[in-house]
Amino acid sequence: MPHYADFHRRSIDERDAFWAEQARLIDWQTPPQQVCDYSNPPFAKWFVGGTTNLCHNAVDRHLAARGQQNALVAISTETNTERAYSYAELHQEVQRMAACLQALGVKQGDRVLIYMPMIAEAAFAMLACTRIGAIHSVVFGGFASSSLATRIEDAQPVVIVSADAGSRGGKVVPYKPLLDDAIELSAHKPAAVLMVNRGLAPASLRAGRDHDWATLRASHMDTLVPCVWIESTQPSYTLYTSGTTGKPKGVQRDTGGYTVALASSMRHIFQGNPGDTYFCTSDIGWVVGHSYIIYGPLIAGMTTILYEGLPIRPDAGIWWSIVEKYKVTHMFSAPTAVRVLKKQDPAYLSKYDISSLKALWLAGEPLDEPTATWISGALNVPIIDNYWQTETGWPILTLCNGVEQQPSRFGSPGKAVYGYNVKLIDEATGEELTVPNQKGVVAIEGPLPPGCLQTVWRDDDRFVNTYWKSIPGRLIYSTFDWGIRDADGYYFILGRTDDVINVAGHRLGTREIEECISSHANIAEVAVVGVADQLKGQVALAFAVPRNTTGLETPEARAALEAEVMKVVDGQLGAVARPARVHFVTVLPKTRSGKLLRRALQAVAERRDPGDLTTMEDPAALQQIKDLIS
């Protein structure tokens, strides 16, 4: 087994030879003529001239060896249904969906917008698109009409695939009225809408535009739709970033590079083998869902679990009962979900036989050390943090245990993943920081490896100007995250570059203060923001969710806990980092993907306009903060 440092070095120094080897992990109709064309930086083209198909690699490729194996298991604790599809059945359903899309006029290169709940048909629709070379744009189901309308205008879809409703915590969310409004609002009108009827909410079909999936499907039961061979650099999909720092950006993904990157990540990062079972608790509306609910596990010939429901309903044992029942080997979730479980009875975590589970990967937000330690103790499986972005499509930092087993260091997402030439840059000078434990911007030297964004959809200028021009004097991709690297190559993410606060001349990462506060036994979750202060420039304000609120009813009790929290910060980071106030709230403002909306929190704390809130989960969370501040 090669030593990881050598493996990584080779991926950079012998880039083309390295990726030519990885490219053999997938099927090509015509092999690539050139591994990487970086003649026009920062635009990288991977596997130029090769033709392949994402759906072929995810589905058809496995038919001979594992046609009868489960490919997709769709579990809903909202409708209490479980549906399993073998690779052969998935192959058939995807062709039926593809035939319907073609019947509605979809051709290669056309866009199809998918606005769906977490049901099997959403997976069929994504795979049907990539099968025929249509570009999908999945929009998180239940997004408000105005957010959906902007995405319809941006993607200009020929067809929209949707459903009557989603369901969350037992509450039905009708989609059709939202969709109708969005189409009304949008300047672009789709030629057709394909509606899956789950029988959850009334959804009237508009004659001439809307079609019922069950009816149309019935006339395509045996239609064969072969995979269209796509040139590697042709787009497979577009997807928006979470909108945590501002207006979401439309990421454009290629075909060949993405397929290779995912196949390679399943081997070197996840050690996934055909026949294993992968349970990723994300949503298909996010990049994690694209890569590790749908494409990655299927490319690897695994069984993938698509779950509609909450982690605590009917009770906090639901995920582990799924692990037991389906002998899940790989699990992927987010720190925010773990923090939800942390507030529940820990007995649920030991109630089921989860011995099939090899590891739990977590991504999306900083995994603080106390949370990592807690879940690791509760589950007794390796906990592996991984850091990436919608833009990259697969991890930038993690442990590549398929190359070499390396120990987790809680608080760190691990080392630079092969293919990524990660650098820490001094924001002011643009110089690379090479001495361990210096703080800098996490940046990636081009070309970005296969799988990463090709550009911003229909906006090359925004791609170049947003990502590649932020560091003075050099063309380098900025992640806009701030971090340090220790002497062994482990990185620690300190927060977003805009979340660095400056208290009386001291630069502090809000993440450092949050990590420290969350080590207090009665704090489940905390957000720290910097707010303008006449005396010190900025001061830190903390908003914390207590684990246990009994006894916190009186102002005196809250003041006592506040003082305790401040003492913890004084002890660990020094008085300079001590928040001016620690406010207690029941919920923090988050995006639909579970990310802390620190920018909105900060704006409200500074009595400014919170800006674009289209991806926000629960508006009540921000109201609570407003009430506290005023």
Query: What residues make contact with ligand ATP under the rule CB under 6 A?
Result: 241-246, 248, 363-367, 385-390, 413, 479, 481, 493, 496, 593, 595
Token pair listed for 72: 């997709």
Shortest gap between Cβ of 336 and ligand ATP (angstroms)? 11
Q: How far is the CB of 529 from ligand ATP (least distance, A)?
A: 15
Judge if the upstream peptide bond of residue 619 is cis by omega within 30 degrees of 0.
Answer: no
Q: How far apart are CA 255 and CA 260, in angstroms?
A: 9
CA atoms within 13 A of residue 97's CA, in its CB half-sphere: 32
DSSP state of 405: -
Residue 413 binds which entry of Mg ion, ligand ATP, none, with Cβ cut-offs from 5 to 8 Å by kind?
ligand ATP
Q: Which two tokens stand for residue 95?
A: 């062709």
For the bound state, the minimum distance from the C-beta of residue 57 to ligand ATP, rounded and expressed in Å, comes to: 24
Peptide bond into 472 cis (omega under 30): no
76 vs 478 by CB, closer to ligand ATP: 478
The listed partner (ligand ATP, Mg ion, none) that binds 95, CB under 5 to 8 Å by sort, is none
Span near Mg ion by CB under 5 A; candidates 19-27, 236-244, 525-533, 575-583 = 236-244
- The interface partner of residue 167, options being ligand ATP, Mg ion, none and the CB cut-off 5 to 8 Å by kind, is none
Helix, strand, coil shares, percent, the chain, to 5:
35, 25, 40
With beta carbons less than 8 A apart as the criterion, state whether 121 and 97 touch. Answer: yes
Task: Name which of 147 and 389 has its Cβ closer to ligand ATP.
Answer: 389
> Whole-number minimum distance, CB 476 to ligand ATP, in Å?
15
Give the residue with the Cβ less far from ligand ATP, 63 or 464: 464
Residue of closest CB approach to Mg ion: 241
Q: Which is nearer to ligand ATP, 326 or 457 (CB)?
A: 457
Q: Pairing relation of β-strands 421-425 and 523-533?
A: unpaired
Minimum separation from the CB atom of position 287 to Mg ion (A): 10
Measured distance CA(570)–CA(150) in Å, rounded? 46
What is the size of the binding site for Mg ion (CB under 5 A)? 1
3-state SS track over 394-405: CCCEECCCCCCC
> Least distance from C-beta 241 to Mg ion, angstroms?
5
Partner that binds at residue 296, options Mg ion, ligand ATP, none, CB closer than 5 to 8 Å by kind: none
By C-beta, is 167 or 244 nearer to Mg ion?
A: 244
Contact (Cβ atoms closer than 8 angstroms) between residue 41 and residue 475: yes
Minimum CB separation from ligand ATP for residue 395, in Å? 8
**Dihedral sign of CA atoms 44, 395, 445, 8 in order:** negative
62 or 290: CB nearest ligand ATP: 290
The smaller minimum CB distance to Mg ion, of residues 41 and 246, is found at 246
- Rounded Cα distance between 503 and 578, Å, is 10
Q: Measured between alpha carbons, how far is 483 from 433 in angstroms, rounded to an integer? A: 11
Angle at 173 between CA 169 and CA 174, to 5 degrees: 160
State the binding partner of 248 from Mg ion, ligand ATP, none, CB within 5 to 8 A by kind: ligand ATP
Q: Could you tell which of ligand ATP, Mg ion, none binds residue 243, using a CB distance below 5 to 8 A set by kind?
A: ligand ATP
Structure tokens at 213: 């999936």
Q: Closest distance between ligand ATP and the C-beta of residue 104, in Å? A: 31
- Whichever of 396 and 585 has its CB closer to Mg ion, that residue is 396
Rank residues 19 and 463 by Cβ distance to ligand ATP and give the closer one. Answer: 463
Which of ligand ATP, Mg ion, none does 366 bind, CB closer than 5 to 8 A by kind?
ligand ATP
Question: Site residues for Mg ion, window 190-219 (CB under 5 A)?
Answer: none
List, as own/partner pairs, every contact residues 376-380 make where C-beta atoms lie below 8 angstroms and the sequence separation is at least 24, other chains included: 376/410, 378/346, 378/349, 378/350, 379/349, 379/354
CB of 213 or CB of 467, closer to ligand ATP: 467
Comparison of 229 and 480: residue with beta carbon closer to ligand ATP: 480
Q: Which range in 153-161, 237-245, 399-407, 544-552 contacts Mg ion by CB under 5 A?
A: 237-245
Which of 52/593 has CB closer to Mg ion?
A: 593
What is the greatest pairwise CA distance in the chain? 73
CA atoms within 13 A on the CB side of 428: 1
The residues, any chain, with a CB within 8 Å of residue 596's CB and separated by 6 or more, are 244, 365, 527, 588, 589, 590
**Residue 441 beta carbon to ligand ATP: minimum distance, rounded to whole angstroms:** 11
User: Is 58 within 8 Å of 266 (Cβ atoms)?
Assistant: no
CB of 97 to Mg ion, least distance (A): 31
Shortest Å distance, C-beta 479 to ligand ATP? 5
- Position of tokens 């494409």? 295
Residue with tokens 């420290």: 516
297 interacts with, out of Mg ion, ligand ATP, none, CB within 5 to 8 A per kind:
none
* Span from 62-70, 241-249, 466-474, 570-578 in contact with Mg ion (CB under 5 A): 241-249
Question: Least distance (Å) from Mg ion to the CB of residue 389?
Answer: 5
Question: Is 332:282 a contact under the CB 8 Å cutoff?
Answer: yes
- Say which entry of Mg ion, ligand ATP, none residue 624 contacts (CB below 5 to 8 A, set by partner kind): none
Strand partners, 237: 136, 253
Phi, psi of 600 (to 5 degrees): -70, -40
Residue 534: CB atoms within 10 A of its CB come to 6
- Selection from ligand ATP, Mg ion, none that 22 binds (CB < 5 to 8 A by kind) is none
Q: Which of 292, 300, 264 is nearest to 57 (CA)?
A: 300
Q: Which of residues 352-411 bind Mg ion (CB under 5 A)?
A: none
The footprint of Mg ion (CB under 5 A) covers 241
